[in-house]
Amino acid sequence: MSVDDAGPDGPLRAPVLHPRGTLGVIATAATVTGPVLHGLRAAAREQGYEVSVFSVTGHSGAAVMAAVAGLRLQGVAGIIVLDARLVAEMAPVPGIPLIPAASTGQYEGARRATEHLLALGHPTVWHLGGPEEGTIARARERGWRETLERHGAEIPPVVRGDWSARSGYRAGQSLAVEPGVGAVFSANDHMALGLFAAFAEAGMRVPRDAHVVGFDDVPEAAYFAPPLSTVRQDFIAAGRQTLAVLEARIDGVPAPMRGTVEAELVVRESSRCLRGS
Note the pLDDT tens digit of each residue in 132-156. Answer: 887 889 999 999 999 999 999 999 9
The answer to whether 78 touches 250, Cβ cutoff 8 Å, is: yes
DSSP one-letter string for 205-258:
-TTTT-EEE-SB--TTGGGSSSPPBEEE--HHHHHHHHHHHHHHHHTT----SS
Is 138 among the domain residues? yes
Are 97 and 110 members of one domain? no
From residue 268, give the alpha-carbon distance in Å to each of 112, 175, 224.
14, 22, 10
Number of domains in the chain: 2
Question: What's the predicted TM-score (pTM) here?
Answer: 0.76
From residue 139, give the alpha-carbon distance in Å to each of 105, 173, 190, 233.
9, 25, 18, 14
**Which of 74, 101, 128 is the endpoint of a domain?**
101
For 49-106, how does the pLDDT look when each residue is reduced to its tens digit (9 = 90+)? 999 998 887 667 788 888 888 998 899 999 998 877 777 666 677 788 888 888 888 9
Are 121 and 217 members of one domain? yes
Q: Which range of residues forms the domain containing residue 44?
A: 6-101
- How far apart CA 189 and CA 224 sit, in angstroms, is 10
Are 20 and 72 members of one domain? yes
- How far apart CA 205 and CA 196 sit, in angstroms, is 8
Are 133 and 53 members of one domain? no
Which parts of the chain fold into alpha helices (H)? 35-47, 61-73, 106-119, 135-150, 165-176, 189-201, 235-250
- Any idea what the CATH number is for the domain that residue 19 is in? 3.40.50.2300
How many other C-beta atoms are found inside a 10 Å radius of the C-beta of residue 185?
Answer: 29
Is 70 among the domain residues? yes
